């Protein structure tokens, strides 16, 4: 016989777990719950052998749900997180679980449901450090909705209000993500001069959660738009040495082609434009790329290739 003496909150969680596992009848659960509300004894005896330590949130199940999400089994992760959310009564823990549900729905592109979960989390979250992560997720949702100005405003305010806290070791990964997002958002908003120093800082972050190739690509784009062609060429070449994502690879080849063309290195430009075309995915609109290929081929005296690319450009219009 195992006898546990628990706090009110942990007692309710214990009873819910036991009820779910069939060790406690519904009538028994309701009766025990009443003892808590009435301030009576919080003692329960059971022969149930508990699989996990009874903490205020089952961290093993949460870690399992996150692992499911990170390996692409997002629907399964949602079910596990929803079950945990149902069992949890602590506001901060429930908000954390809802935040993880939000991320899952965002990964599936179900932004409406993601927004609903985030709103629920914000309503119940206490004024703790969990708010930092809720603000970050709110910004990311706006970004996915292409509301870049709103997303950037939230992240800027996060840095202004909680800058010192973000710099503590506990929140190192969050700070790295926030700065990376700010740099990329500024790039997308064509604010290249503001984006470049942020992205340079991001290259120094030692975190597996940071998209280093994405940072290099955006840094190359900023350099190119700011007239720093030599730096841009090095950064795009670094993307190709380290990248495997089609969008980044194709666009890096394309921009290298434009840099070589501007530098009168037409043969190198043609190789880069053809490499961009060979990527299949990503890259600029095909009509635009074919026009660059046609112009480069014609400059090199490759008339037949130029005419072929001109026909393809017309067909792609």
pLDDT band at 5; cut points 50, 70, 90: very low
Average pLDDT, the chain: 84
| Structure-model confidence comparison of residues 138 and 127, the more confident one | 138
Start-to-end CA span in the chain (Å): 78
pLDDT band at 307; cut points 50, 70, 90: very high
- The angle formed by the CA atoms of residues 243, 246 and 248, to the nearest 5 degrees, is 60
C-alpha span between 199 and 189 (Å, rounded): 14
- Could you tell me what percent of the chain has a pLDDT over 90? 66
C-alpha span between 231 and 69 (Å, rounded): 37
| Residue extents of the structural domains in the chain | 226-317
C-alpha span between 277 and 270 (Å, rounded): 11
Q: Are the C-beta atoms of residues 278 and 290 closer than 8 Å to each other? A: no
Q: What is the pLDDT of residues 252-261, one digit of tens each?
A: 999 999 999 9
Tokens read off for 140: 């990311």
Q: Are the C-beta atoms of residues 135 and 152 closer than 8 Å to each other? A: no
pLDDT, residue 50, reads 26
pLDDT, residue 59, reads 79
Tokens read off for 263: 């530098």
Average pLDDT, integer, range 217-236:
97
Beta bridge partners of 2: 46
Average pLDDT, integer, range 186-194:
98
Q: Are the C-beta atoms of residues 256 and 237 closer than 8 Å to each other? A: yes
Q: What is the DSSP string of 177-192?
A: HHHHHHHHHHHHTT-H
Burial class, 26, CB count within 10 angstroms (exposed 0-12 / middle 13-18 / buried 19+): exposed
Query: Which residue, 171, 184, 192, is CA-closest to 139?
Result: 184
Query: H helices of 125-228, where?
Result: 130-144, 148-166, 172-188, 192-202, 212-225
C-alpha span between 163 and 23 (Å, rounded): 48
Residue 46 clears pLDDT 60, i.e. is over it: no
Tokens read off for 290: 């074919």
CA gyration radius, the chain: 27
Residue 121 CA to its chain's centroid (Å):
18
pLDDT band at 43; cut points 50, 70, 90: very low
Q: Are the C-beta atoms of residues 218 and 224 closer than 8 Å to each other? A: no
Tokens read off for 154: 């939230």
Query: Which residue, 198, 195, 201, 136, is CA-closest to 162?
Result: 136
302-310, long-range: CB within 8 Å, 24+ apart, which pairs?
none
Beta carbons within 10 angstroms of residue 31's beta carbon: 12
Query: H helices of 21-129, where?
Result: 26-37, 59-70, 74-87, 91-107, 111-124
Helix (H) or strand (E) holding 260: helix 246-262
* pTM (2 d.p.): 0.76
pLDDT band at 26; cut points 50, 70, 90: low
- If you search the block for the tokens 């007692």, which residue do you land on? 11
Residue 124 clears pLDDT 70, i.e. is over it: yes
Residue 176 clears pLDDT 60, i.e. is over it: yes
pLDDT, residue 31, reads 54
CATH number given to 226-317 = 1.25.40.10
């Amino acid at each position: 016989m195992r006898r546990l003496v628990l706090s009110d909150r942990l007692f309710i969680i214990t009873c819910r777990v036991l009820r779910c596992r069939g060790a406690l009848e519904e009538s028994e659960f309701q009766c025990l719950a009443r003892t808590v509300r009435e301030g009576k004894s919080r003692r329960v005896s059971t022969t149930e052998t508990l699989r996990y330590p009874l903490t205020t949130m089952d961290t093993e199940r949460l870690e399992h749900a996150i692992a499911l999400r990170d390996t692409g089994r997002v629907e399964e992760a949602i079910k596990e997180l929803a079950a945990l959310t149902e069992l949890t009564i602590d506001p901060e823990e429930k908000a954390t679980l809802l935040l993880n549900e939000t991320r899952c729905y965002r990964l599936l592109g179900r932004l409406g449901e993601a927004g609903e979960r985030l709103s629920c989390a914000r309503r119940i979250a206490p004024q703790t450090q969990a708010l930092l992560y809720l603000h970050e997720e709110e910004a990311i949702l706006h970004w996915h909705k292409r509301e870049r100005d709103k997303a950037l405003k939230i992240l800027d305010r996060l840095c202004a209000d909680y800058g010192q806290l973000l710099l503590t070791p506990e929140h190192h990964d969050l700070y790295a993500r926030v700065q990376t997002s700010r740099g990329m958002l500024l790039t997308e908003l064509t604010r290249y001069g503001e984006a470049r120093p942020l992205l340079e800082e991001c290259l120094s972050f030692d975190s597996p959660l940071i998209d280093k190739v994405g940072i290099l690509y955006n840094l190359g784009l900023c350099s190119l738009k700011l007239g720093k062609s030599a730096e841009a060429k090095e950064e795009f070449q670094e993307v190709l040495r380290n990248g495997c994502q089609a969008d980044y690879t194709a666009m890096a080849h394309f921009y290298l082609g434009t840099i070589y063309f501007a530098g009168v290195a037409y043969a190198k430009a043609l190789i880069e434009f053809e490499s961009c075309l060979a990527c299949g995915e990503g890259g600029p609109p095909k009509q635009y790329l074919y026009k660059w290929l046609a112009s480069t081929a014609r400059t090199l005296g490759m008339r037949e290739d130029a005419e072929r690319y001109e026909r393809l450009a017309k067909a792609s219009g």
